Amino acid sequence: MLIQCSLIIQNLVPRPAKANSQSLRSYLLTKKVNGKYYVFVLNSMYPNGIHYDIAMLENIYYKFIKEKKMGLEFREPRQMLLIVADDKEMLHSFYHQLIDIINGKNVVIGKRHLLNTASSNNYNMVCSTKPLEFVAINRFDNSLLNMKHLGKLVLENCDLPTIPVEIGSLPIRYLSISGSKLPASQFSQDTFWNWLSMDTVCGTLLTLKMDSVGLKSLPFEILFLKNLQTLSAAKNMLTYLPHFIAEMKKLDCLFVGDNMLSYYPDSICCRIFQKVDISNNPFQLPESLVFEHLVKYNDVFTSLKRPDDDVIVKPLSHLSFYSLINNCVPFKRQDIPRSLWLYFDVVGRCMLCKRLLLPDYCEINHRFGLPTAINLTKDQRTTRLSRQYLLCHISHKFCVRR
């Protein structure tokens, strides 16, 4: 449940604070994530919210609850939340829900009441007719489609069964879906990224954050974001980074820590990034160099190859695919055959002549080194890792640098 209140957050260590005595208009809500209960605080100091684990709740001061006041003392972080609620009844219910949670009851947290808090969903829109930022509490709100000047959209820790394609028509510069639950059904997954193909957002989006959303591969639509500078896809299940990210010329911050990467694309090492985080990845090439996404590609397309396994005349599908990438034409993925989606996982450029290549025309090799970045975050043990590169190889002839 959700209550509106004035809230003071006090640090109890290292010194009982007087510095943290600022009272802020806040929203407090109970949340259940992966079976654990939290008090979630949202205010101007924490526009993206902050979670307090209810298991860490040490004391509830409820003596003055009739005067709409309550205190929550947490062990970790060592902080006290001093609440002055707007509504006495709501504070009562909030208190009782906390007690039920502490007593180990399986509390179902209703979201119904959030429906009439459309305006309270966002701090910055309350007093503004042209909101520039929107922070959703735990679900998508269609009202934001009317915010024609929206520059920052935070959809973190939300249920996101879909993102309407119209979002792509807003001039969003910053978008985060970190921690959100993406759709489970195949159809919804297939259409989920369509908003990235819209002209407006393709030009305006500078930062895209999608940490902890269970990604197994990066959606190829990010390729259309020609001005994207920061891409964060940490804490996912990525086993590889597609070579096509080298096509994103403005990209200079890449956060892919806590994934399952076995190599780094050599193609993005020819320029220096501002920040790269590759920590907590295995960076171990599979034995016999079998990569799952390449196997998938080969399973679909090997049967289409000539018996002599030599491709001299390129199929039209390859040529048109190269053309799509070279011209950076945004499209919806449903507009091309599903099998061609696999092309994006494997396409890259020849290290020497820079031609676009599908695996049919190249050798895949590795050399050792590190990503090139001014601020590189990596595991201490990582002194070098495999950087994968492609080299033209047609009719047993190797690439000649042009």
| Binding site residues, Zn ion, CB under 5 A | 350, 352-353, 392, 399
Rounded least distance, CB 366 to Zn ion, Å:
17
Question: Measured between alpha carbons, how far is 291 from 284 in angstroms, rounded to an integer?
Answer: 12
Strand, helix or coil for residue 186: helix
Q: Least distance from C-beta 392 to Zn ion, angstroms?
A: 3
| Beta-carbon contacts of residue 122 (< 8 Å; ≥ 6 apart) | 131, 133, 134, 135, 136, 144
**Shortest approach of Zn ion to residue 349 CB, angstroms?**
8
Between 82 and 350, name the residue whose CB sits nearer to Zn ion: 350
Residue among 329 and 353 whose Cβ is closer to Zn ion: 353
Tell me the C-alpha to C-alpha distance, in Å, between residue 162 and each of 142, 233, 241: 11, 19, 24
In three-state secondary structure terms, 122 is coil
- Looking at the Cβ atoms of 24 and 352, the one nearer to Zn ion is 352
The distance of closest approach from Cβ of residue 397 to Zn ion in the complex, given in angstroms and rounded to an integer, is 10
Nearer to Zn ion, 155 or 399 (CB): 399
Tell me the closest approach of the beta carbon of residue 388 to Zn ion, in angstroms: 15
Question: Closest CB to Zn ion among 152 and 393?
Answer: 393
Greatest CA separation found in the chain? 84
Shortest distance in whole angstroms from residue 368 CB to Zn ion:
21
Q: What is the enclosing helix (H) or strand (E) of 8? A: strand 2-11
Q: Which is nearer to Zn ion, 101 or 399 (CB)?
A: 399
**Residue pair 345/238 in contact by the 8 Å Cβ criterion:** no
Query: From CA 107, how far away is CA 170, in angstroms rounded?
Result: 38
Place of tokens 């960076």: 283
CA distance 393 to 391: 6
* Minimum CB distance to Zn ion, residue 351 (Å): 7
Q: Please state whether beta strands 2-11 and 24-33 pair in parallel, antiparallel, or not at all (unpaired).
A: antiparallel
> Which residue's CB is nearer to Zn ion, number 353 or number 374?
353
Structure tokens at 292: 């799952």
Letter for the amino acid at 178?
A: S
Nearby residues of 333 by Cβ (< 8 Å), 6 or more positions away:
190, 193, 194, 197, 220, 221, 341
**Contact in structure between 384 and 369 (CB atoms under 8 Å):** yes
CA distance 195 to 300: 28
**Whole-number minimum distance, CB 394 to Zn ion, in Å?**
9
- Output the six-digit token pair for 369: 């080194």
**343 Ramachandran zone, left/alpha/beta (phi>0; psi -120 to 50):** alpha
67 vs 26, 118, 202, CA distance in Å?
18, 27, 51
What's the min distance (Å) between Cβ of 294 and Zn ion?
Answer: 19
Q: Which is nearer to Zn ion, 235 or 349 (CB)?
A: 349
CB closer to Zn ion out of 144 and 357:
357
